Amino acid sequence: MKDTLMARLIIAGTSSGVGKTTITAGLIAALRVRGLSVQAFKVGPDYIDPTYHTLAAGRPCRNLDAWMVPPDRVLASFRRATRDVDVTVVEGVMGLYDGFGYDDEAGSTAAAAKLLEAPVVLVVDASKMARSAGAIALGYRQFDPDLNLAGFIANRVGGDGHGRGVAAAIERATGLPVFGWLPRDPRLAIPERYLGLVPTREPGRWTDFVHSAGEIVASHLDLDRILTVARQAPPPCEAVREETIDSPETHASGERPVIAVASDEAFHFTYPENLERLEAAGAEIAFFSPLRDGRLPPRTAGVMLSGGFPELYATDLSGNVPLHAALRDAHDGRMPIYAECGGLMYLTEAIVDDQGREHPMAGLLPGRSAMSG
C-alpha cells in the first residue's frame, strides 16, 4: 500500500471563473502521461466539475465537503481513496477563502487545505492586468499566514512577454514561485450554462478537450516543481485512520438485493461514496437509463433517481412510456424509490420546459416542475 496523504496539492483560485477546473483537469492529464496514477477531488458538493477530473484521471473524482461531513470522516474517506495512487490533485471551490459565511473559513478551500495539510497553488487570471497581479497575489499570501500557499499559476496571459512580466511581479511581491503561465487558447474553453459548466456526460468532444488541456499544461507549467511541492506535504497524522467499508452482506436467499440506479446523460449527479455504502450494506448496484431502457433491471428491489438535467431531455424522457409504467408498478408494489433534484422532477406529472411546453413524466407524485428565472 502506498503511503497516503503524502503527495498532494490543491489548485485554488482567486475567484470562480479563473480556470481552476481546466488547469486541474490538464494537470491530472499531464501527470498521467508521465505514468503517474492520480486521484482527483473537488472541494464542496459540486457534481459537474468532477466529471472532467474523472475523465482526466481515469477513476472517479470524489468530493471533500467538511461542511456536510464531519472532518474526521472527510479525512478517513480521503485516505481510503488515495491509498493506491502516486499523487492527489484537489480542485478548490470559488475563491480560496470563500466558504459558507463572510467572517470565517468554514466550507472554504483554505479550510480544506488546512484539514488535509496540503500545499496550495493559486490560479490568478492575468488577462486584464500586469503588475497588479503582484498586489493581488500578495494579498492572498498575507490574508492567512497559517495557510501553506506554495506558489502561483498565471492564466490567460496575452503572450510570453506578458506571462514573464506577470510572473516577475508576483514573485517580487510574494517571494513565492510562479510555476508557469497559460495562454488564452480556445481549446481550453469549456461551455457554460446555469449551474456552471456543461458536464462531460453530455455529448461533446470531452476527451479531446482533456487531451488538449494536458498538452498545454505540460508545455507551459513546470511539472517537476509542482510535483516537488506535492511530495513535500507533511506525513499523514497518526490520528487519521483509513475508513473501512465492510464486505457486502448476503441475504438468507444468498442473493443481494438489487438497487437500480439511474445513470445517463439526464441523471448523473451521484456521489460514488453513496453507491459504495449501499454495496457495503449488502446491495448490488445495477444501472439503468431512463432515456433508453423500457424496464427496470432484473430483481430490482429499490430504485435511486439522483439529480441531473432532465429538463434538457424532457422530450425523450416523456416518450419512454414503458419505463413510466414500470416505475408506477414498482411504486404500487411498495418498492422503495429514492429521488432527489432532477430525479424528483422526473417522478412528477410533467416537466414544463423554458418554452412553456409540457412533457408528461412518470406521474408518481402530484405536481409539475417548470423552468423559471
User: SS3 for 142?
Assistant: helix
All three cell numbers of 136, joined, read: 493581488
Q: Which run of H or of E encompasses 50?
A: helix 49-57
Gap between the Cα atoms of 148 and 208, Å rounded: 34
Identify which of 274, 243, 218 has the alpha carbon closest to the alpha carbon of residue 60: 274
CB 306 within 8 A of CB 201: no
Q: Which run of H or of E encompasses 171?
A: helix 160-174
Active site residue 341: yes
Q: Which one of the listed residues 6, 218, 280, 341 is annotated catalytic?
A: 341
All three cell numbers of 38, joined, read: 492520480
Angle between helix axes 71-81 and 109-116 (nearest 10 degrees) is 70
Gap between the Cα atoms of 72 and 80, Å rounded: 12
Identify which of 20, 13, 60 has the alpha carbon closest to the alpha carbon of residue 40: 60
User: SS3 for 248?
Assistant: coil
Residue matched to cell numbers 497524522: 237
User: Which residue numbers are catalytic?
Assistant: 341
